[in-house]
Amino acid sequence: MKNIIIIGNGIAGVTAARHIRKRSNHRITIISSETTHFFSRTALMYIYMGHMDYKNTKPYEDWFWKKNRIDLIQDFVEKVDVVEKKLYLTGKGKLSYDTLIIAAGSKSNKFGWPGQDYKGVQGLYSYPDLLEMEENTKGIERAVIVGGGLIGVEMAEMLRSRKIEVTFLIREDSFWSNVLPSQEAQMISRHIREHHVDLREGTELQDILGDNQGRVRGVVTKQGEQIECQFVGLTVGVSPNIGFLKSSGIDTQRGVLVNEYLQTNVKDVYALGDCVERTYDLPGRRNIEQVWYTGRMMGEVVAQTICGTPTPYEPGPWFNSAKFFDIEYQTYGNVWNELKSNEEEFYWEHHSGKKAIHFVWDKGSHQFLGLNVFGIRLRHELFDKWLREKRPIQFVIENLHEANFDPEFFDRHETEIITAIDLAKPELKIKSTLKS
């Protein structure tokens, strides 16, 4: 029986623990400095907005862990000694392990801005961050958010739910245009403004100003404008949380380096989730992927390997989902922010400005490469299947009705989309008949 220690109780670490327990009688311990019990990180915003309590974000009852013989320790790992196979903890001394899984997640980026350590200036990634935000935004009137990613738009929605005025600084010319094509980025920019957010495009932070009590009182942009505020949200991305591995002998670059079995360079040490950087390439995927479902998949894979069935991590075609206020977003395959030389596209937007779909395919072969969709729910399993089968774009469009996942009585738009693409791209020879 092995003594397995997991650093981190997010989706990656907890999935690994659950699947190891299903397959073995190994001793399992999870260490987290954030919380004792696993919770749904994606639900943090709903706690702040009053839609949920913290206890309702825990997928498992507190008794689940003892029943399944998974020990929980709330503490901080200061150092990893891979020679002696020991962990040094802040409060509970040393722990020995036979197998170590590093699933330490991410931390909010800071870039050394003057004043970034004033009270009222923070990121949002962890539950302690949420508690800090609760305290920092009590009774305030205005906030400034710096950085235009998914955490930034979530923070804007959180603050607006409490009627706090929000100024949103992004350096791009439209929201998330380093990820989204211009059509979608402009649509979401309009939508953010419709929710009474002061979105400032092409605007970067220069300084953060404080008062004589050490609390934030405003910011100065690189254009020299001063904006008064009582809270600054730094949402300029996250980085792998690997500082505690310094001098451990475990190879790192931006993240913990792993092979296709999620093994590090050190025997019996694995890494999962947000803190991982793959040393091998997967087509159409980045080497660091900080999303919920990849962490879950890694947890399942590493459990099989540790329990005697070596299994490589092969996540398949890229997909992700998010929400921009009340517009839901899904992406399947690869839709880059700028079209590549071998690619062709078709973009359809509903007259409401709240729904859109963007197809991308190979010019020569007509192979379907990817899709972005806003405000229309589609079935992930079908797009995953079509991407793996390398289906032609004609097939995907003609069978779009099969992928619709909207509830009954929702409007359907397949006929309108097919008619529009047939007019714009007659060379595709899309069949106009549609099964409804």
Give residue 433's pLDDT.
52
Q: Tens digits of per-residue pLDDT, 372-406?
A: 999 999 999 999 999 999 999 999 999 999 999 88
365, 380: one domain: yes
Calpha distance 139→161 (Å, rounded): 13
- Whether 288 maps to a domain, the answer reads yes
- Give the domain-ending residue among 202, 236, 270: 236
Which pair of structure tokens corresponds to residue 153? 């738009």
Q: Tens digits of per-residue pLDDT, 254-299?
A: 999 999 999 999 999 999 999 999 999 998 899 999 999 999 999 9
- Whether 311 maps to a domain, the answer reads no
Q: Tens digits of per-residue pLDDT, 41-80?
A: 999 999 999 999 999 999 999 999 999 999 999 999 999 9
Task: Give mean pLDDT, residues 349-359.
Answer: 97
**Cβ atoms of residues 143 and 231 within 8 Å:** yes
12, 101: one domain: yes
92, 40: one domain: yes
132, 228: one domain: yes
244, 100: one domain: yes
Residue 263 DSSP class: B
Q: Tens digits of per-residue pLDDT, 97-153?
A: 999 999 999 999 988 999 999 999 999 999 999 999 999 999 999 999 999 899 999
131, 226: one domain: yes
Structural domains of the chain, count: 3
**Cβ atoms of residues 396 and 387 within 8 Å:** no
Which pair of structure tokens corresponds to residue 12? 């990656």
246, 294: one domain: yes
Whether pLDDT at 409 is above 90: no
Calpha distance 236→109 (Å, rounded): 6
- Whether 323 maps to a domain, the answer reads no
Calpha distance 140→121 (Å, rounded): 13
34, 85: one domain: yes
**Cβ atoms of residues 362 and 369 within 8 Å:** yes
- Give the domain-ending residue among 181, 209, 236: 236
Question: Which is it for strands 256-258 and 216-221: parallel, antiparallel or unpaired?
Answer: unpaired
- Whether 67 maps to a domain, the answer reads yes
What's the pTM?
0.94
Residues 6+ apart with CB under 8 A from 339: 181, 345, 360
42, 63: one domain: yes
Rounded to the nearest 10 degrees, the angle between the axes of helix 11-23 and helix 292-306 is: 30
Give residue 84's pLDDT.
98
**What is the domain-level CATH number for residue 157?**
3.50.50.60
- Give the domain-ending residue among 180, 208, 236: 236
With cut-offs at 50, 70 and 90, classify the pLDDT of residue 432.
low
- Whether 312 maps to a domain, the answer reads no
- Whether 434 maps to a domain, the answer reads no
State the chain's mean pLDDT as an integer. Answer: 96
With cut-offs at 50, 70 and 90, classify the pLDDT of residue 408.
confident
Mean pLDDT check: name the lowest of 170-174, 220-224, 260-264, 404-408.
404-408
Question: 157 — phi, psi (to 5°)?
Answer: -65, -40
- Whether 188 maps to a domain, the answer reads yes
Give residue 410's pLDDT.
82
160, 176: one domain: yes
Calpha distance 183→177 (Å, rounded): 9
Calpha distance 436→126 (Å, rounded): 45
- Whether 410 maps to a domain, the answer reads yes
Q: What percent of the chain has pLDDT over 70?
A: 99
Calpha distance 340→171 (Å, rounded): 23
27, 66: one domain: yes
Domain enclosing residue 50, as ranges: 3-107+240-306
Give residue 191's pLDDT.
98
126, 98: one domain: no
Whether pLDDT at 431 is above 90: no
User: What secondary structure does DSSP assign to 109-175, as a single string?
Assistant: -----TTTTSBTEE--SSHHHHHHHHHHTTT--EEEEE--SHHHHHHHHHHHTTT-EEEEE-SSSST
